[in-house]
Amino acid sequence: MGFGDAVRTCFSKYADFSGRAARPEFWYFFLFIVIIDVAFWLLLFVVAMLAGPSGNTAMALVSLVISVLWLVVTLALLVPQLAVLARRLHDTDKSALWILLAFIPFGSLVLLFFCIQEGDSGTNLYGPPPGQGGWDPSMPFDPNMPAGAPGAPGVPGGPGVPEGDPVAANGAPQAVSSENAATPQVFHRPAGLPVMPNPPRLPAPRTPVTEQLAQQQAATQPSADPGS
């Protein structure tokens, strides 16, 4: 990761305190902050030199504007600085709460030691190594991401892949033909196989109860008159 990529990544993750950040991402953004501070300091120095020892009202106003602008930029960059610091600590498998060390004496030196350490080579509690793909639980699921792409869901139990689904050797879901997926399975009778007729209906078994009911029904029915 180069200087420009690191700066763009930190601004795209402006307030993202989840995931991990490698050393280049953190230190290149730290260098970007230093360059901005040095640039504002040089502007104030030039304005002070132009004002001279006697002072100048116009130059004093310019100096005030530059100072206010510097303060605004510093406050705007505070959130991404804390976010990338949290991700850098995550890369070394440490909680972002270690940032609180900056408020105690010599705590900044401890944070500096943490930030210069190499990150974990494998997946830790905060996700996979930066730039190596894989499914990161802190990242939002993109259903349009193609299978097999870095970060695509291809792990059973991950997003879009329930437990028990077949996966290919590379970890990506097996490709399913849209024709097979959309067409239901229909079974056809082989040619020449005769159609089996419906079986005949068998009479109900006769029991003493059914016999008595049949006799009662026959007695209640009117008898047919052959002379009518």
Q: Is 181 helix (H, G, I), strand (E, B) or coil?
A: helix
Predicted local confidence at residue 197, as pLDDT: 60
Cβ neighbours of 156 (radius 10 Å): 14
Give the DSSP per-residue string, 119-166.
PPSS-BTTBSPTTS-S--TTSPP-TTSPTTSTT---STTSTT--TT--
pLDDT in tens, the chain (228 residues): 788 888 888 898 888 888 888 888 989 999 999 999 999 999 988 888 877 776 667 777 888 888 999 999 999 999 999 999 999 999 888 888 888 888 888 888 988 898 888 888 888 888 888 876 544 444 454 555 554 444 444 444 444 444 444 444 444 444 444 444 444 444 444 555 555 566 666 666 667 777 777 788 777 766 555 554
| pLDDT given for residue 72 in this prediction | 93
| The residue type at 226 | P
- Cβ 121 vs Cβ 48: under 8 Å: no
Q: Point out which residues pair with 167 in neighbouring strands.
A: 173
**What are the pLDDT digits (tens) for 64-86?**
888 999 999 999 999 999 999 99
**Which residue matches tokens 């109860």?**
209
- HSE-up (13 A, CA, CB side) for residue 159: 16
pLDDT at 202: 65
Q: What is each CA distance from 79 to 20, 26, 165, 208, in whole angstroms?
A: 16, 13, 41, 91
Global model pTM greater than 0.75? no
Nearest to 124 by CA among 94, 104, 144, 152: 94
Which tokens in the block code for residue 180? 């097979």
Q: What is the pLDDT of residue 164?
A: 44
Residue 167 DSSP symbol: B
- Looking at the DSSP assignment, which residues form a beta bridge with residue 127? 124
Q: 30-48, pLDDT tens digit by residue?
A: 999 999 999 999 998 888 8
Q: Which amino acid is at 63?
A: S
